[in-house]
Amino acid sequence: MTELLSNYLGGTCVMGSGAGTPLFDPVLGNELVRVDATGLDLAAGFDFARSQGGQALRAMTYRERAAMLGAIVKVLQANRDAYYDIAMQNSGTVKNDSAVDIDGGIYTLGYYAKMGESLGDQKYLLDDEPATLGRDKEKGVAFVSQHILTPTHGVALLINAFNFPSWGLWEKAAPALLSGVPVIVKPGTSTAWLTQRMVRDVVEAGVLPAGALSVICGSSAGLMDQLKAFDVVSFTGSADTAKIIRSHPAVTERSVRVNIEADSVNSAWLLPDADASSDSFKSLVREVVNEMRVKSGQKCTAIRRIFVPEAIYNVASEAIFAKLAAIAVGNPRSESVKMGSLVSRAQFNTVLLGLAHLKTQAETLFDGSTLALVDVDPAVACVMAPTLLGARDPDGNSLVHNVEVFGPVATLIPYKDLAHAKALIARGEGSLVASVYSGNSEMASQAALDIAFAHGRVHVITPDVAQIHTGHGNVMPQTLHGGPGRAGGGEELGGKRGLAFYHRRSGLQVSQSIAQALKVST
């Protein structure tokens, strides 16, 4: 039998008592390791994280916790080669795609380490200026309200998806740990190996207090049951699972704070000022193809709907077709391959079903199944080339606006005018990100404002930033990640804003002199 990976809970390494769930190489099909959480004392583990990990973290200042994040960065950097190897084996990703996950996670940690240093040696944060409630003019004193943020005295349960086992961990854990809140992470089972290895390396390096960072691999059964009033839960995954989390007694009865990032039918929008010869058109084509290729489209921020003026629908189809046809898809061990595998057979089958569903209302503009795959056995490998669909009647096509196929699939959609495009984009009912392409800065700015209500992030690409923008699908720690409506209604990252979820806001009604002392100490 292959190795059974350990869990880290209650400040120690613990093994599940079951046979374990096997994790596979999605390209070669061989079993890699097993994960199991059977028999773990979850109640004791959560209590240890709250009492030991939480107390130790809260005793530190923001500056001290920032230094702790910096130490984590050094541990991860020292083990990068091992992480890349695990990602290739367990996620089927090419090196550049592994970098998005691994180096993206390390960069996010480094960003919060640097930001935390700037917060100084205090243990709380001020929220805005004090507001006067009463004043004695004769005595020259005032009674004021000063809002403050203090770390919640609970644990942060992070339930993550399979597609980003590194970044998904650290983009949540970095602001939580900097805030002084211990973390228990439950990674997506199919790719849990990388998350487990990173946590193992950090815990064994001794750079964190005992109980500050835990990992539970395998079944999530019973995890939500452990949550108490001052705990928080942050979830990334399907809308169906999000419903279960929101309806759990921990949330409905004990008011545990919850952050959800769920489904998202993200858009790319070419404004009508751009024709097929424009730089904006070229930028759109480049981003669409990139978002379909990177991690085989398994990104919550990937482009799913592509809006172009009716007049250039066919030209856009041809341009995207040409670039998709040139992508080498297959075994990530082959140097020529630029696009690897889906993460599992289950995910492969799910994408096929979703694609077939979309095809009932859309035409096929580029059929990825016709491409020859590099160095793989199609009967074994979960490798899928990109497919571009087209929806010539977007008003009568409900599926393209409602169904997210979590793989290398996108749909080209023509629009009549600006009002039509905005209405179609809004039919996504809330998305994580939309990108706007235009050579007219004023038009682009107005378009971004018009659709901002439906998106957590609007990425505007004009010719002057075409070579320096960070990419439609790349989530930067400086900018908010999340989205309204079907995207889950959550907010993560966004620089200092990312700390708010792990703090409690309180209004201190005090004398003006006390308020001034609070401000001076920060």
CA–CA separation, 284 and 323 (whole Å): 12
> What does DSSP say about strands 183-186 and 156-159: parallel, antiparallel, or unpaired?
parallel
Burial class (CB in 10 A: 0-12, 13-18, 19+), 509: middle
* Residue 505 CB burial class (10 angstroms; 0-12, 13-18, ≥19): exposed
N-term to C-term CA, the chain? 55
E-strand stretches of 290-351: 303-309
Question: For the chain, give me the number of helices (H) and strands (E)?
Answer: 16, 21
For residue 445, give both structure tokens.
Answer: 């700015």
Catalogue the active-site residues: 261, 300
- 294: enclosing H helix or E strand: none
- CB burial of residue 134 (10 Å; 0-12, 13-18, 19+): exposed
Name which of 367, 151, 353, 411 is nearest 257 in CA terms. Answer: 151
Burial 231-255 (b: 16+ CB within 10 A, else e): bbbbbbbeeebbeebeebebbeeee
Strand locations in 162-302, DSSP E? 183-186, 213-215, 232-236, 257-261, 266-270
Report the distance separating Cα 129 and Cα 504, nearest Å.
17
Q: Which residue in this structure is represented by tokens 């189809």? A: 317
Let me know if 282 is exposed, middle or buried by CB neighbors in 10 A (0-12, 13-18, 19+).
Answer: middle
